[in-house]
Chains A and B, each alone.
Chain A
């Protein structure tokens, strides 16, 4: 502090309104802000020149020229980059930050005109001139003042968040020019518009300009309000719903009913505790339950998780039945429900016995193969019952999608666990007997290969950790007993077939059918139709008639149906007349119930023309006989094949034909000119596709018969594949074919020698009445058909019937 304090004289406050400002002052270029006189404006100063300008001003009069740039992007404005009009401002406060950026608070003093830039380095300095407002108090002027004031108030009322002070101040500004500047500084104008107001020195014009801007702003504000209120309306509706729901919950609680959601969650929690889930499953369940708790019951995912937990806790994690391994009991139940099928029953009893002695042994998976209606599924029922297990069945027919076995992931809409898990859930125990029907009809396409999924299910090494995609946790399938059924074996994938123990149910003979009808079918149908035992009886012959003349099948399904038809008619009679009279159905009265005979014995169809032979086929419906017809006509040596024959069958026909042609001499056909003849082989029925090599011997026979002109023995059927050397190869389905032959009234069957062991599997009853012959070569076949004599007569060389064996 200096010793002598110089007394600076206090200047008198000036008399006129504006007062003096220096004629030369530093310039602070503003990028896009506009400073109006009287307005206090905070500014951030970053550019070096600007900072220097501020410093300079503070060291002098603290007055600075606030001039807006023409373009806000200009970094270092030259004189030509600055507008002509600006505002002189007094710096009220200044702060400098460590990074050198500066904040100042300036108040505008007066409008100025920039006369000349006299310096640009280190900061811009200008010669300026104060500009006063021009006031002309006309009528228009007064009107404008009033209007502008009103519109501003109008605008303020349409805007949100306007401080009261702005309104009050605006109402109280007496000077029009100041009012205009105040409004211009406080409404939402762009830089150019603001600058226009600044540059307008005439107050009336300034007011006019402002009125225009105000009207525009009001429009914008009102539009904004409209949109806002619409949005608010929508939100309020949602809020209203929420509010009502909360009330509902509260009311429910008052009534003592817990709200639905928490009840469910508690129940689930209990279930998770009590059901004995595996560790993994428990963890997963608890995790999902926690999510459920936090979720609103209205959200879509709520029901998804809920159903998942229902499935998970609903599975029989601990429930199981104890196996009744009483061998005698098992046999009893099987006998009670099924007639015949001794071999199969023996096998099942063996299975149970072994299981009793070694419970841990993972037994083979039984596969029942047979035509429809032989009782595969009902066998499964009986087995389950005799062992005390729950029974669940699922059909694999037409299943192409792997997800049917494994389930869909929970994330898919409408996802469900796979059929296996569903079957277990239905059974209610973890060791049910699950019957997998129609495994030969499993498909496979781009959606996956269900048979591989099935392999995992059936593999005892893997299936204790079977993971269904929906459940996402492992379930132990190792205690489940699986039984598989199929109509044919060919379409079962080899990997799967390996794991199965095939048990064939070839079908029933007529005698067996009659017994089955007597013991099971008739009583069933009678009770089904509400009749009493005494109301309806069938004679044995009647049943036989139905089986032979009204059905043609390996199983008993249609037989049951026909019996049912009879029952129906009786039921109608009783309902009509109200009286119950004993009805006895005999062969004579059968047509009254079932109409005329539907099935005619095919043996009668056979003609005694040469060129026809009887073959045996093994189809999904069991064994069948088929006829091979051959005819010759003049031609060029062509061989025509019809009857919807598949490639393999066609080839076997060609083989037979070639065989004959190559051995023409030996067969005594040396005089046949094959090149001048056409042969046509046809296998009825024309609409049924046929394939397979086992008709080889039959085709050969038909052709030989054709060329020899000697009809084949009409009571003989044959089956066997032939080679070009004349050897007979073994075929499949011996049991079914023999049965089919018997059904059709065939007396003799010629089988390949190599199938002799298969014959042991044919039950004595099925073989009864059928002579079986074995053939090693086609000559053997021809010998049986035409008699050894016929051929001998026609050729020079004799063939020794070395391998001709006859077996009864």
Chain B
């Protein structure tokens, strides 16, 4: 039975996820193709600023270091990667499926003036932390129009 029910869980999850993907879709630089199937999954990501850096923190436990690709392009930070679904054991039935596997991609909008060449990336304890230093002076206040 596939009935669309008006329940909060589905609505919020659905609409929000949709919006998120669409917004990020708009930000994708041309030429960069989206991933399939279903655009993959989206890891939880925090973005904040310190006096000296723009910090992007992504939760991607289980992703091998070599399967992570970080790019900065025209004011957008693009993080892509792949989480291998370990088929180590034989699955007979599935009760719950929530962890994203396979391709992932997040695009974060960074309008600040940063030095893209001196970004730091640390992957530790399942967290990928990307630090983007401000080029000069402090953080630019972003006007919210």
The residues of A with any CB-CB pair to B shorter than 8 Å are 1-2, 5, 7-8, 10-11, 13-21, 28-33, 38-47, 50, 55, 58-59, 61-63, 66, 88-96, 103, 105-107, 109, 163, 165-166, 169, 172-174
Contacts and interface: CB of A to CB of B under 8 A. Distances in A.
A90 B103 CA distance: 13
B3 A44 contact: yes
B93 A94 contact: no
A19 B36 contact: yes
B21 interface: yes
B36 A18 contact: yes
Interface string B94-106: 1111101001000
B37 A19 contact: yes
Given A11-B103, A107-B17, 10 more contacts: A13-B35, A16-B33, A28-B2, A42-B5, A42-B9, A55-B94, A58-B94, A62-B97, A165-B15, A169-B22
B3 A33 contact: yes
Contacts of A39: 14, 18
A61 B16 CA distance: 24
Given A58-B94, A107-B38, A42 B26 contact: no
B51 to A, nearest CB: 32
18 contacts: A1-B88, A10-B84, A11-B82, A11-B103, A21-B36, A31-B2, A38-B21, A39-B14, A40-B13, A40-B14, A40-B15, A42-B7, A55-B94, A88-B37, A90-B36, A94-B98, A105-B17, A172-B22
Given A92-B100, A165-B15, A45 B37 contact: no
B37 A109 contact: yes
A39 B11 CA distance: 12
Interface residues of B, number: 43
B69 to A, nearest CB: 10
B145 interface: no
Interface string B1-42: 111110101110111111101110010000001111111010
B98 A33 contact: no
A95 B96 contact: yes
A293 to B, nearest CB: 43
A59 B1 CA distance: 19
Interface in B80-94: 80, 82, 84, 86, 88, 91, 93-94
A305 B24 CA distance: 69
A105 B14 contact: yes
B33 A13 contact: yes
Contacts of A18: 36
A62 B22 contact: no
Contact of A92 (B17, B23, B82, B94): B17
A33 B2 contact: yes
B1 A169 contact: no
Contacts of A88: 37
B45 interface: no
B67 interface: yes
Interface of B: 1-5, 7, 9-11, 13-19, 21-23, 26, 33-39, 41, 67, 80, 82, 84, 86, 88, 91, 93-98, 100, 103
Q: Which of A10, A15, A109, A163 has the most CB atoms of chain B within a 10 A radius of its CB?
A: A10
Interface class of chain A by DSSP: mixed
Q: Which of A46, A58, A173, A174 has the most CB atoms of chain B within a 10 A radius of its CB?
A: A58
**9 closest Cβ contacts across the A-B interface?**
A42-B10, A90-B38, A19-B36, A30-B2, A94-B97, A33-B4, A46-B1, A10-B82, A107-B38
B39 A107 contact: yes
A166 B11 CA distance: 13
Given A10-B67, A29-B2, A33-B4, A40 B18 contact: yes
A1 B5 CA distance: 39
Contact of A109 (B17, B36, B95): B36
Contacts of A174: 26
A165 B3 contact: no
Given A90-B37, A92-B100, A109-B36, A42 B94 contact: no
Contact of B96 (A21, A63, A94): A94
A39 B25 CA distance: 13
A17 B34 contact: yes
A31 B3 contact: yes
A524 to B, nearest CB: 91
A21 to B, nearest CB: 6
Contacts of A169: 18-19, 22-23
Contact of B1 (A31, A61, A109): A31
A45 B5 CA distance: 11
Nearest to B98: A93
A515 B122 CA distance: 135
A663 B113 CA distance: 151
B2 A43 contact: yes
Contacts of B2: 28-31, 33, 43-45, 50, 66
A20 B21 CA distance: 20
B82 A59 contact: no
Nearest to A20: B36
A95 B88 CA distance: 22
B13 A105 contact: yes
B60 to A, nearest CB: 14
Contacts of B93: 55
Contacts of B100: 92
Contacts of A96: 94-96
A688 B44 CA distance: 113
Given A13-B103, A38-B18, A91 B97 contact: yes
Contacts of A33: 2-4
Contacts of B80: 13
Nearest to B96: A95
